[in-house]
Structure 1
């Protein structure tokens, strides 16, 4: 198997450009931080098996970002209410949370947009499994 790093980078950039469209922003760094924060929140909220299945459908560069800082847990992080979920997403944005998610409303719309983007990029079955694992009260778009 050949390692074509240029293709990996190109695929990651393609995803990032499309994500910018979904988020309605031009700042690629901000879009990347938002995507990373939402992916990390999803990864930690769903069962480990589902997290691994989701990763399998990400481009290799995003897969590395997705697994950065991952700790395998027996049980996913427990979150029951939307406000708690949105704060959890904000907590995954390191030091830029106030720039990327100044309010919970910003976090809400970013989460919705990332989920819509993922729905366009991963299999329907995988999307449905992730959405179900996240819990309906967390406002996953249908």
Structure 2
């Protein structure tokens, strides 16, 4: 029986929880922290990549995650031009200031692993290659073999 009465909602809740569980294999077991890390990393990437890639990536995210991804998006202000890992980490950290401290580099790596595991590998490669080389070094190059 459906928990919410709508299969689409049940499925997105399930998928979102799977993604958060995978993030929590690296970060502390704190679902709220994992949720904030997922959103912060995704939005920072979204704001750096070309508009068409941002939209295509968003279309492949679970419905709940997609809502966070597109939250407060201003397409006319993208893509941003930051280039370094330090700038990337500072932007992610600023979005996570309301949660307990976490290693932002590890949070980014955890989110990138989840994306590599669940999103079409061709789309991931396009997004990766649109990012500065320093940021690509944080992102695994091969799709995760985890189920």
**Interval containing the TM-score (normalised by the shorter chain):** 0.7 to 0.9
Could you tell me the TM-score, scaled by structure 1's length? 0.84
Alignment-derived partner of residue 131 in structure 1 = 128
Offset at residue 42 of structure 1 (A) = 0.6
Moved more, 82-91 or 69-78: 69-78
- Structure 1: gaps spanning 5 or more residues: none
Q: Which runs of 4+ in 1 moved over 6 A?
A: none
Partners of 1:128 and 1:71 in 2: CA distance: 24
- Picking from 106, 117, 121, the partner of 1:120 is 117
Is residue 51–residue 75 contact of structure 2 (8 Å, CA) maintained in 1?
yes
Q: Which residue of 1 aligns with 2:12?
A: 8
Unpaired runs of at least 5, structure 2: 142-147
Considering fraction of residues, name the structure with more helix.
Answer: 1
TM superposition score normalised by structure 2: 0.82
Please say if residues 83 and 134 of structure 2, whose CA atoms lie closer than 8 Å, have aligned partners that are also in contact: yes
How big is each residue's C-alpha offset from its partner over 1:69-125, in whole Å with a ceiling of 9 and x where there is no partner? 1111264111111111110111222533xx234xxxx11121122111210111111
RMSD: 1.9
Count of residues in correspondence between the two structures: 134
Shift of 1:39: 0.7
